[in-house]
Structures are given as C-alpha cells and as structure tokens.
A and B are shown apart, each in its own frame.
Chain A
Amino acid sequence: MGEQWGFYFDPNSCMGCNACAIACKNRHGTEAGHVDWRRVETVSTGEFPDYQETNVSLSCMHCEDPPCVDVCPTNAIEKRESDGIVTIDRDECIGCRYCGWACPYGAPQYGEEGLMQKCNLCLDKGPGAGADAESKNTQEDPLEPACVDECVGEALHAGPIGELMDLASEAAARKFEQNPTSVIVEPQTGEEGQAAANVETPIPYQG
C-alpha cells in the first residue's frame, strides 16, 4: 500500500474568498451552477459575546473507509491502494446517485449527463479523469491541486498524510486520528485563544 494522500485545512487561515472553489471549477471545467467539487461554507458558532464565524472549505474527504464505495453497484468508485485517493470511473457509472445519498459530505456531484463526478485530488483534469492515473506517489511531478495552488490564505495543503502531519498542530493531529477521512482539519482558535472549531463527521445514529 502506497502512502495515503489527503488534504490539510486550517480554518484560521481561511478568509472565505472562494478562490479554491473557483480554481477547482476552472481546472476541471465543471458545469456552472450546480456542480461543485469544492465549496466554501461560512458557519456561525456560539452566541454573543462568544459569537464567531468559521469558514470551511469542503470537498471529497477521500474517506478511509468510504461509504460511497460500499454502495456503488458497479464498483465504479475506488479507494486506491496506491495513494488513498477515491476515484470514479465514469465509464462504469450508471448514474443511480446512490453514492450521493451515502456520502455524508455531499461530495458526489452529477452533471447534465447524470453521471457522478467529484474531487480526484487533481490526479488529472476534468470529470472522471484520474481513475486509472498513476499513483501520486510515483508520479514524477504530481499536479498540485488547483485549490491548494490558488488558496490566498495558505489554508489548504495537499500531499501524503505523513507530510501534512508536519503542518498540523497537536490538536489537529489528535482529531485526525479519530476521523475516518483523509482530511486534517485544524481546530479554530477563538478570540480568547481557545480551540473552538472543527468539522465533525456525522456519527451514524444507527449501527
């Protein structure tokens, strides 16, 4: 098994400018409007005087044990052994949208043609691209994800999890250990310096 790749996100550095989402759209030429591989949400937490706003940039989490893979009838979705990136082979997809319901993050997107597309950690450009791409670990000059490239606040990084961990604070690393996705999220530091924000995976309420 090759080293697993993922994202690192620090909401403290994110200004909610949407540059990542737009860069992603540009690189992959995704449909305007309802197809968003990456999107930025502003979430308000707490009440005055502890009120604060948190910007969260979300895409496919490249989950460790992806529920989308479990439900896909044709095995069109794959969690790659070689680099941990979750890809979609659009030649296999029947467009049933079952994965859309299974994914807790709303990552799978469906364009006009009704087939699934989502973030491929920029293995390649365009919807469906990258399914059979060489492992990020062995590519000579792996493409830097557009969102990371264009991030104004340096809030987003991508790479092998081991390298990303060097960027992470202790709290973020601890969170990551409990989080079944491949995204390391930095806790937000509130005004008073207390750790306040993190994106939590919803907990299955029925086992």
Chain B
Amino acid sequence: MLAAESGVIWVPRVHWGLFIATYLFLGGVSGGSYVTSVSAQLIRGRASSDVEWQSRDETSRWGSLLSVVAIGVGTGALLYHLGAPLRALTFAWNFTNYGSWLVIGTWLIVIFSTLATLDLVWNFFGSEKQGRTSGSFFVRRILGWIAIGGEPVVLNLLDRFSDITKPPQKLHTAIRVFGAFLGMGVIVYTSMLLSDLWTCPLWNRTYLPPLFLMSGISTGLAATVAMPAIFDGLTETVHQYSLADDALIVVELGILLAFYNFLQGRTGCMASQATVDSLNSVFSMPFWVGVVGLGLLTPLAMSLVMTGASALFDLDERSHTWHQIFRAGYVLKYSLVLVGGFFLRYVIIFAAVKLPLTVA
C-alpha cells in the first residue's frame, strides 16, 4: 500500500475520485452562475436598448436556472461517492461536528440551494410570466407538456405558488443579492474543505480559496452567458461579460502561476516537490494542457482575436456570416473555460500528494 523510498514512507491518497472533482467543479459553477445572474439583473436597468435589456434579462434567468441545475447535479455526484448516502440525507440530525467543513459546507449548500430554487420559481413562473417565449423559458414549455386532461398541472401549480410567495421587487432583489454572497460562500467552501487539511501541500490555505473563487465565478459566468449566445445570438451583453471573464481569467492565471511557483520554491518539502513533479509528469496533460492551455490561455487568446478583429476590421456582426462565426467563437470560448474549470478540480484532487512519514 505504501511506497517506500529512501528515508521516507509515502502515504497513499486514493480517497477521492472523479465524482468529488465533479462536485467541487459544479459547486463553483453553481455559485458563479448565481453571481452572474444577480449581476445581470443589477445592470439590466442601464441597458442601452431593448435588445440589451432583453439580453441581460435572459442572462439573469439563465444564471438562476443553471445555479440550481449545477448544485443539484453536484450534490448528486457527492452522494454517489459516499459509502452511506442515505445517512447524509439526514444531515440535519447526524451532522453534529460543526467544526468540520463538510458540515459547514452542507449547511451553506442547503441554504443556498433552497434560496436559489425559490428564486428560480419566482423568475420563471407566475401569471406575469405566462406566454413568455424567449430562450430560457423553454423550462415552461417542457413543464407545459405534463398535462392531465389538457391542463398543464405542474405549470399551473408553480405559477400559483409563485404568485402567492413572490416578494415585492425590491425585497426580491435584496434576497438575490444575499443569495449571490451565499453563492460565493459555496465556491469558497469547496476550497476550504480541502485546505482545512494540512496533509497535502497542494491544498494550500493561502492560494486555493482565491483560485477557486476566481475559477468558480469564471466558470459560472461562462456557463450562464453561453446560453443566451446559443439561444438568442450575440449581443453587447455577451461581449461585455466575455471581457469581464477575461479579467477573471487573468487574475486566476496569476494566482495559479504564483501558487505553482510557491510549491516549486519549497525545496525543503518533499511533498511539494513531488506535487510539482506530478504536475509535470503524470498530470502534465490535464494541468498544462487542460487547465492552463485550454482553460485559461486559449479563451484569453480567442477573446483577444475576436475583440481585436471586430474593432480593427470594423466587422459588421450583424451580417449573418460574421454573426455566426463570432457566436460560435464565444460559445467555444465559454465551453473551454468550463473544460478548464473541470480540469482544475481534477488536478487539485488527483495530483495532491500527502506529506510523507520520514524515517531519519
């Protein structure tokens, strides 16, 4: 089980796999989608045209939807990994160690997803949403298919529920802003869960939280804004969010490289050195190609080329061909950000090396 080497005993570390990486990734996407959703709503009023207003409105709704879907699937992945998932469902009774980040995180996720789900109902249902047809409202169309005797029962129920429970606009916005902070809490929690342990240098308390926060918001933004780009085409809003994402990516890249540099510089720590070695050997593909290349540098380069090209050559994005090319470009960019975000969690889990026991 243990690999022995001169003077040290390496401790095995095969406890978590793909499902936990997926959980951490989707926790980030969920929180990030919600933050994006709220931001789009807050800047909606300052839209320059009806088209932009509509685009921000859609972005906001997509983010609301994706945050719930992501946290739902993510929690499913977590439960699947557990040895006794049913016991985790009764967390309210048996998660009694409030000092454990698993317990803190569970409560954060529960409160966040309850709020996000309520919010989703308010954003998609209610009498004033009836008859809406823009992209994100496909949710209504699908639920409309569930009918008994020609009556869309589920839809009606949700509409009624929304009408009864929906708070006045100002309060609703305040709740959403609070939700955005919870969303950031969920993202940061995924890093605290790991960095609370001192056994792996890769799970560093200084670097991991800001790294995950940047990546979480960036991937959530990417997932959210890709949706109006796919369903409705390009708008100014899609461009603006792309630029915001670029800023996040630059910061994330900076933190990641500083972190790598930090580990590399810890020459006295065998586990840090082993981690750097594994990032450059076994995990060089997911790390350098997946995270750094595909997930960070390529999206940045694509953004640069697309923004530059449309400014330099004064391309008319309203022309059908250019519109389609740029649209595909942005969708690809956002997809790569997501791929990179996943690889980041993958690498952080799989390339973690435990401090060895020394026999000196």
Which stretch in B155-163, B194-202, B238-246, B327-335 binds the other chain? B194-202
On whether the beta carbons of B97 and A114 are closer than 8 Å, the reply is no
- Least distance between B268 CB and chain A CB atoms (Å): 9
Task: Report the interface size class on chain A.
Answer: 35 or more
Q: How far is the CA of A98 from the CA of B103 in the complex (A)?
A: 11
**B4 at the A interface (CB under 8 A):** yes
Do A200 and B82 touch (CB < 8 A)? no
Binary contact readout A148-182 vs B (1 if CB under 8 angstroms, 0 otherwise): 00000000000000000000000000000000000
In the complex, what residues of B have CB within 8 A of residue A197's CB?
359-360
- Among residues of B, the one whose C-beta sits closest to the C-beta of A34 is B1
- Chain B residues whose C-beta falls within 8 Å of the C-beta of A198 in the assembled complex: 359-360
A-B Cβ contacts below 8 A, count? 151
* B154 CB, nearest partner CB in chain A, Å: 33
Contact of B197 among A54, A71, A200 (CB under 8 A): A71
Known: A36-B1, A102-B197, A205-B201. A95 touches B16 (CB 8 A): no
Check if A56 sits within 8 Å of B11, measured CB to CB: no
Q: In the complex, what residues of A have CB within 8 A of residue B6's CB?
A: 43-45
CB distance from B12 to the nearest CB of A (A): 5
Residue of B nearest to A72 (CB): B97
Bound complex: CA of A98 vs CA of B16, how far in Å?
Answer: 9
Assuming the contacts A71-B197, A106-B12, asked whether A200 and B359 have C-beta atoms less than 8 A apart, the reply is yes
Interface string of B1-42 (1 = CB under 8 A from A): 110111111011101100000000000000000000000000
Q: How far is the CB of B49 from chain A (nearest CB, A)?
A: 50
**Interface check A104, CB cutoff 8 A:** yes
A34 CB to nearest B CB, Å: 7
Given A104-B199, A104-B354, A197-B359: A94 and B87 interface contact (C-beta under 8 Å): yes
The CA of A200 and the CA of B99, in the complex, are separated in Å by 27
Contact A41 B83, CB 8 Å, known A101-B199, A198-B359, A204-B198 = no
Q: Are B1 and A73 in contact (CB under 8 A)?
A: no
B102's partner among A42, A43, A96 (CB-CB below 8 A) is A96
In contact, B358 and A206 (Cβ under 8 angstroms) = no
Residues of A with C-beta under 8 A to B193: 98
Minimum C-beta distance from A91 to chain B (A): 9
Which partner residue on chain B sits nearest A74 by CB separation?
B94
Check if B206 sits within 8 Å of A206, measured CB to CB. yes
Instruction: With A43-B359, A71-B196, A205-B201 as known contacts, state yes or no: A101 contacts B97, CB within 8 Å.
Output: no
Q: B2 to nearest A CB, angstroms?
A: 5
B15 touches A44 (CB 8 A): no
A151 to chain B, nearest CB (A): 19
**Least Cβ–Cβ distance between A87 and chain B, in angstroms:** 15
The answer, yes or no, to whether B101 is at the interface (CB within 8 Å) is: yes
Given contacts A200-B360, A202-B355, contact A43 B4 (CB under 8 A): yes
**What residue in chain B is nearest A202 (Cβ atoms)?**
B355
Q: Which residue of A lies closest to B16 (CB)?
A: A97
Chain A residues with Cβ under 8 A from B9's Cβ?
41, 43, 56, 58, 199
Are A105 and B357 CB-contacts (below 8 A) given A74-B95, A94-B88, A95-B84?
A: yes
Question: Within 8 Å CB of A114, what residues of B?
Answer: 82-84
Chain B residues in 8 Å Cβ range of A206: 198, 204-206
- Contact across chains for B84 and A71 when beta carbons are under 8 A apart: no
User: Which residues of B sit under 8 angstroms from A199, Cβ to Cβ?
Assistant: 9, 357-359
Compute how far the CA of A94 lies from the CA of B356 in the bound complex, rounded to whole angstroms.
27
**Contacts known (A114-B83, A205-B269); A104 close to B11, Cβ less than 8 A:** yes
The interface centre, meaning the residue of A73, A97, A197, A200 with most chain B CB atoms within 10 A of its CB, is: A73
Supposing A45-B7, A200-B359 touch, asked if A39 and B197 sit within 8 A by C-beta, the answer is no
- Asked if A74 contacts B97 (CB within 8 A), the reply is yes
A179 to chain B, nearest CB (A): 12
CA distance A43 to B357 in the complex (A): 10
Q: Determine the distance from Cα of A74 to Cα of B103 in the docked complex, in whole angstroms.
A: 8
Q: Which residues of B contact A129 (CB under 8 A)?
A: none
For B15, the chain A residues whose CB sits under 8 A away are 97, 100-101, 110
Contact of B96 (CB < 8 Å), options: A75, A95, A110: A75
Do residues B83 and A95 form an inter-chain contact, with CB atoms below 8 A?
yes
A47 to chain B, nearest CB (A): 8
Identify which of B81, B199, B266, B272 gathers the most chain A CB atoms within 10 Å of its CB. Answer: B199
Is B85 located at the chain interface by the 8 A CB criterion? yes
Contacts of B198 in A (CB 8 A): 67, 204-206
Known contacts A105-B357, A197-B359; 6 additional CB pairs below 8 A are: A42-B4, A73-B97, A73-B106, A74-B95, A205-B198, A205-B272
Give 11 A-B contacts (CB < 8 Å), ordered by A residue. Answer: A43-B7, A44-B7, A67-B197, A70-B100, A73-B91, A75-B97, A94-B83, A95-B83, A97-B16, A106-B13, A113-B83
Identify the B interface with A (CB < 8 A): 1-2, 4-9, 11-13, 15-16, 81-85, 87-88, 91, 94-97, 99-103, 106, 193, 196-201, 204-206, 266, 269, 271-272, 354-360
A residues contacting B by CB (< 8 A) are 34, 36, 39, 41-46, 54, 56, 58, 67, 70-75, 92-98, 100-106, 110, 113-116, 197-206
Chain A to chain B: the 9 pairs with minimum beta-carbon distance, closest first? A95-B83, A114-B83, A202-B355, A204-B198, A100-B15, A97-B15, A106-B11, A73-B102, A43-B359
